[in-house]
Chain A
Amino acid sequence: GQQVMQIPQYQHVQEGEDFTTYCNSSTTLSNIQWYKQRPGGHPVFLIQLVKSGEVKKQKRLTFQFGEAKKNSSLHITATQTTDVGTYFCAGHRVSNYQLIWGAGTKLIIKP
């Protein structure tokens, strides 16, 4: 079964508000990747984190990998309509090469 829990499942924000999604794994991950899926589209790779405690930024997006390499977060500052979509985390198990996917967080911008 799924071993990476991602919350929340949905988040409604006003444009300009911040957004955060969290991923927690029951086991240590060798790395974590983040993907974005626009409505009607397919997942597109955003970033990969490998080191314990790593923080990376892409413009308004901040990605963190926990010290124990079991959790990660994506924070978007001042959301824009172009941020709409579903954000997935996916981690590689230490024991093999399979990616384990979170269920995704759907970002919805309130009109």
Chain B
Amino acid sequence: DVKVTQSSRYLVKRTGEKVFLECVQDMDHENMFWYRQDPGLGLRLIYFSYDVKMKEKGDIPEGYSVSREKKERFSLILESASTNQTSMYLCASSLWASRQAPYEQYFGPGTRLTVT
């Protein structure tokens, strides 16, 4: 089974702190994603990566950056946390997708981040 793990289930940080969220997958997937989930808004893509050191902005990249130095690991960084970044953060991975053969995404358990 694919396993996607995230470094913390719950995290409380202060405004202005630098926050690192780590995600690791064990199935050699090429694609990795970071989403945030807020009630009534579904999942919104922050960044994704289709290869080591490659990254693409999603729909809401402002205030976030990412790092992918190894294939199995994808980090989300909040350079200066703000209260409006309080949310559930979900990491996902998938095999490389083509338009003809897209693959499903496998999710980690999520990190509930509270910024006070």
Contacts and interface: CB of A to CB of B under 8 A. Distances in A.
Contacts, number: 53
B105 A97 contact: no
Interface in B93-116: 97, 99, 102, 104-110
Interface stretch (A12-20, A54-62, A69-77, A101-109): A101-109
Interface residues of B, number: 22
A104 B110 CA distance: 17
Chain A interface residue number, banded: 20 to 34
B107 A30 contact: no
A87 to B, nearest CB: 11
Interface stretch (B11-19, B42-50, B66-74, B79-87): B42-50
B104 A98 contact: no
A105 to B, nearest CB: 10
A11 interface: no
Nearest to B110: A42
Interface string A89-105: 01010100111011110
Contacts of B110: 42
A89 B105 CA distance: 12
Interface of B: 31, 40-45, 48, 50, 58-59, 90, 97, 99, 102, 104-110
